[in-house]
């Protein structure tokens, strides 16, 4: 009975379909992009002030934390724009090759921000910084080394990208979402489609966290792949997984316009299992008990996804794509 | 377009009821299969403005089809592994014929009529091993199976009649699928190819990509009136590789791969579901339902831009650009980079839109 009432309450809360989209934008996404813009600008200032890895790392982590609030959005300006901020996974090792190439050649492109913006996306963004700041073989550079100029160029480029992305969402794409169903909007033909778009993104983010952020380093029991974890050099794998889950849960509540008890309980379990993981970089997963802890977190992230489907997707009548789920 | 022979044969097949032409069913420009909100499946005729010309029920989910060039009948293929295809009278909705592939063969979702409508060619594979076949059916004899020829490849998917009507182009996907489901058995030993055949099955030309692209399954085709073939691909290798999903080919020349910038290519998620030439012949468009986007390319393979639309897949030429259909019920008209909504219906359009000949 209580469950039925919750569902009814949810349906009522969702009745004006645009409310969910508006709330997700104003409470979560737009503040998220603005905060990332500010954190990336602060990283740029920090790098110009002192480019050494030790000095830059705190601002790098703050920028990466801010990025996680919007990292899993792959629509609008983020559809093709996210990859140049977060080029990962990188199965072909593009980022390492790009960095090695720039450093070996002492490529003067670092002196020209406009030219640097044209460098391959694999050689820019947060994962290029992870590679430089987190690799002991590279991170010991001094202020007169080429790597110093490269870190500064990367930070400046990231700040520029973050500002562009924030502007794209705030002054452009937000209106595309909120004008869903209105004449002239050929992206979202109904308000429900805009909600569905955000809902699909948050589910995809959770699936990415379970399958890729955690699944990729887990590999198989016989062959764990710890160095395939996300930004493992700078110790971010666990933080990124938990933050992406927090963001998805909060976005689900904003979309539904109501508290989601099952989702909150599932999120609490995610925090609990994350707390039992020893190494935040997930580099200890060759140890069976450490591996088991990461597998539990992975399972709890999948349960969080299921809770959101039950509390948001099913009551709002949102289902996966007809064609995207079943190609041919 | 209806030949006297086809007309008379049509009379015979339908028990002396004359076959109606397409004008009699609202002059549709396209055919598309869909899932209705109530879960039922339909075949719909759509006019150039995106309006329904007719709707007939289907017993199960369709994949693609082909429209007879003369009279208002269409063949609709079941989804893979296809055990049947239905020839539907688009005026009455009646199932005129139920086609079953010979024992040990499976329909692969696509087919094409000969220019005069006398023959139907169906994309098929041998269930065990997925060796490609084109089934040949005599329309006038009531869709009598008259033979089959090899596609010179594994797992063929779409096939198209070449301009002039004297050759077929076939996309051999290169994937060996299990006989009873679609489990892929040979992802590390794929050999996709583009093959041109005379209508008698003799091989005209076979095109394969470089070994590094062997896991790029060649699946869907569009052909320009002057014989340029666009082939859309689906990457079966490691994720995030961002390889080209469109190739362009002219008989006798090397294929040209059409790439998008890395960030855009990644957003397609290694998957192109359909390809079409714009009505004015200036660009090819591919769709990715997984990425929720369309990529536009010039006839030389240059990237022209992307258009976002969730679950978009079906594509066909439109006099003013390209028609795109999606799983949310939208029919969009792309005019270059601009998009216009033609219709939004409470149904899910299935993978493909079939343009009627003409």
* pLDDT tens-digit series, residues B214-230: 999 999 999 999 999 99
* C-alpha to C-alpha distance for A140 and A321, rounded to whole angstroms: 48
Mention every residue, 6+ apart, whose C-beta is less than 8 A from residue B36: B42, B346, B347
Interface residue of A75, A80, A128 to substitute, partner B, most B CBs within 10 Å:
A80
The total number of residues written for chain B in this structure: 358
Q: Are B188 and B125 in contact (CB under 8 A)?
A: no
Give me the pLDDT at residue B1, please. Answer: 41
pLDDT (0 to 100) of residue A1: 38
Inter-chain touch A323–B350, beta carbons under 8 Å: yes
Read off the tokens for B311: 């679950």
Range of the domain at A57: 2-316
pLDDT in tens, B271-330: 999 999 999 999 999 999 999 999 999 999 999 999 999 999 999 999 999 999 999 999
Show Cβ contacts of residue A186 under 8 Å, excluding neighbours closer than 6 positions: B309, B332, B339, B340, B341
Is B327 within 8 Å of chain A by CB?
yes
Q: Do A189 and B330 touch (CB under 8 A)?
A: yes
Nearest residue, CB atoms, B308 vs list A82, A187, A190? A187
Question: B330 to chain A: nearest residue by CA?
Answer: A189
Asked if residue A45 belongs to a domain, the reply is yes
A287 phi/psi in degrees, rounded to 5 = -80, 125
φ and ψ of B330, to 5 deg: -85, 145
Q: Which residue of B has its CA nearest to A84?
A: B263
Q: Tell me the C-alpha distance between B309 and B293, whole Å.
A: 5
* Alpha carbon of A194: minimum distance to chain B alpha carbons (Å): 10
CA distance A28 to B247: 41
Query: Phi and psi for A24 in degrees, rounded to 5?
Result: -60, -40
Extract the tokens encoding B213. 């692209």
Which pLDDT score is estimated for B357?
A: 65
Tell me how far apart the alpha carbons of residues B143 and B153 are, in angstroms, rounded to a whole number: 25
Rounded distance, CA A236 to CA A246, Å?
Answer: 15
Hey, of B106, B267, B333, which one would you mutate to test binding to chain A, going by the most A CBs within 10 A of its CB?
A: B267
pLDDT value of position A15: 44
Name the stretches of chain A with pLDDT < 70: 1-18
- Residue B88 is predicted with a pLDDT of 93
The reported pLDDT for the residue numbered B14 is 45
Tokens of A78: 């983020």
Query: How far away is chain B from the Cα of A49, in angstroms, using its nearest Cα?
Result: 31
Find the mean pLDDT for residues B324-341.
95
Domain that holds residue B322: 4-355
Considering only CB atoms, B310 lies closest to which of A84, A121, A197, namely: A197
**Structural domains counted in chain B:** 1
Residue of B nearest to A192 (CA): B328
In a domain, A289, yes or no: yes
| Residue positions counted in chain A | 328
B321-326 vs B312-318, strand pairing mode = antiparallel
CB A51 within 8 A of CB A225: no
pLDDT (tens digit, 9 = 90+) per residue, B188-247?
Answer: 999 999 999 999 999 999 999 999 999 999 999 999 999 999 999 999 998 888 899 999
Q: Of A80, A193, A324, which is closest to B289 when you measure between CB atoms? A: A324
* Helix A126-134 and helix A53-68, axial crossing angle in degrees, nearest 10: 150
Number of domains in chain A: 1
Mean pLDDT of chain B: 92
CATH number at residue B323: 2.130.10.10
What confidence category does residue B80 fall into, taking pLDDT thresholds of 50, 70 and 90? confident
pLDDT of B8 strictly over 80: no
ipTM of the complex: 0.88
CB contact under 8 A, A186 and B332: yes
Give B71 or A161, the one with higher predicted confidence.
A161
- List the CATH number of the domain containing A284: 1.20.1420.20
pTM of the model: 0.91
Using CB atoms within 10 A of its CB, is residue B28 exposed (0-12), middle (13-18) or buried (19+)?
Answer: buried
Q: A-chain residues within 8 Å CB-CB of B289?
A: 321, 323-324, 327
Chain B residues touching A74 at Cβ < 8 A: 267
């Amino acid at each position: 009975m209580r469950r039925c009432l919750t569902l009814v309450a949810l349906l009522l809360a969702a009745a004006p379909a645009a409310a969910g989209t508006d709330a997700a934008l104003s409470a979560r996404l737009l503040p998220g992009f603005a905060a990332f813009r500010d954190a990336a600008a602060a990283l740029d200032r920090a790098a110009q002030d002192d480019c050494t890895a030790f000095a830059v790392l705190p601002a790098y982590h703050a920028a990466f934390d801010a990025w996680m609030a919007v990292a899993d959005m792959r629509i609008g300006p983020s559809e093709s724009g996210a990859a140049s901020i977060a080029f990962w996974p990188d199965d072909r090792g593009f980022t390492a090759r790009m960095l090695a190439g720039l450093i070996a050649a002492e490529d003067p492109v670092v002196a020209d921000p406009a030219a640097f913006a044209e460098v391959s996306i694999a050689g820019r963004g947060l994962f290029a910084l992870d590679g430089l700041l987190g690799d002991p073989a590279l991170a010991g550079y001094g202020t007169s080394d080429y790597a110093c100029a490269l870190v500064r160029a990367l930070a400046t480029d990231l700040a520029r990208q973050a500002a562009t992305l924030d502007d794209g969402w705030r002054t452009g794409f937000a209106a595309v979402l909120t004008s869903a169903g209105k004449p002239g909007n050929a992206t979202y033909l109904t308000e429900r489609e805009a909600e569905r778009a955000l809902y699909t993104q948050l589910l995809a983010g959770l699936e990415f966290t379970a399958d890729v952020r955690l699944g990729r380093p887990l590999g198989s029991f016989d062959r764990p792949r710890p160095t395939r974890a996300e930004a493992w050099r700078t110790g971010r794998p666990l933080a990124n997984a938990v933050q992406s889950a927090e963001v998805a849960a909060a976005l689900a509540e904003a979309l539904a316009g109501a508290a989601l008890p099952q989702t909150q309980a599932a999120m609490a379990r995610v925090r609990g299992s994350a707390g039992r993981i020893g190494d935040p970089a997930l580099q200890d997963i060759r140890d069976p008990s450490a591996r088991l802890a990461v597998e539990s977190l992975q399972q709890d992230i999948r349960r969080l996804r299921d809770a959101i489907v039950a509390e948001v997707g099913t009551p709002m009548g949102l289902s996966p794509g007809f064609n995207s789920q079943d190609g041919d | 377009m209806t030949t006297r022979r086809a007309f008379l044969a049509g009379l015979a097949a339908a028990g002396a009821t004359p076959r109606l032409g397409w004008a009699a069913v609202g002059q549709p420009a396209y055919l598309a299969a869909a899932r209705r909100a109530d879960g039922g499946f339909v075949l719909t005729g759509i006019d150039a403005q995106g309006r329904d010309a007719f709707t007939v029920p289907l017993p199960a989910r369709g994949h693609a089809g082909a429209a007879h060039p003369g009279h208002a009948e269409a063949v609709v293929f079941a989804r893979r592994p296809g055990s049947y295809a239905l020839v539907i009278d688009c005026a009455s909705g009646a199932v005129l014929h139920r086609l079953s592939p010979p024992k040990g063969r499976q329909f692969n979702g696509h087919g094409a009529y000969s220019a005069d409508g006398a023959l139907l060619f169906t994309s098929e594979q041998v269930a065990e091993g997925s060796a490609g076949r084109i089934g040949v059916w005599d329309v006038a004899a009531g869709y009598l199976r008259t033979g089959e020829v090899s596609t010179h490849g594994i797992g063929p998917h779409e096939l198209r009649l070449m301009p002039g009507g004297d050759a077929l182009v076939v996309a051999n996907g290169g994937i060996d699928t299990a006989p009873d489901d679609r489990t892929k058995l040979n992802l590390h030993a794929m050999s996709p190819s583009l093959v041109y055949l005379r209508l008698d099955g003799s091989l005209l030309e076979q095109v394969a990509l470089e070994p590094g692209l062997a896991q790029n399954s060649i699946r869907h085709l569009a052909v320009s009136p002057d014989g340029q073939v666009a082939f859309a691909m689906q990457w079966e290798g490691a994720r995030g590789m961002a390889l080209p999903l469109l190739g362009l080919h002219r008989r006798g020349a090397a294929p040209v791969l059409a790439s998008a910038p890395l960030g855009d290519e990644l957003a397609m998620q290694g998957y192109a579901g359909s390809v079409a030439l714009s009505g004015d012949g200036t660009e090819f468009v591919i769709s990715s339902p997984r990425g929720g986007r369309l990529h536009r390319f010039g006839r030389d393979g240059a990237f022209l831009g992307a258009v976002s639309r969730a679950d978009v897949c079906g594509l066909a030429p439109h006099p003013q650009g390209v028609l795109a259909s999606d799983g949310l019920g939208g029919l969009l008209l792309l005019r270059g980079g601009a998009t216009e909504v033609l219709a939004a219906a409470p149904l899910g359009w299935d993978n493909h839109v079939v343009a009627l000949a003409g």
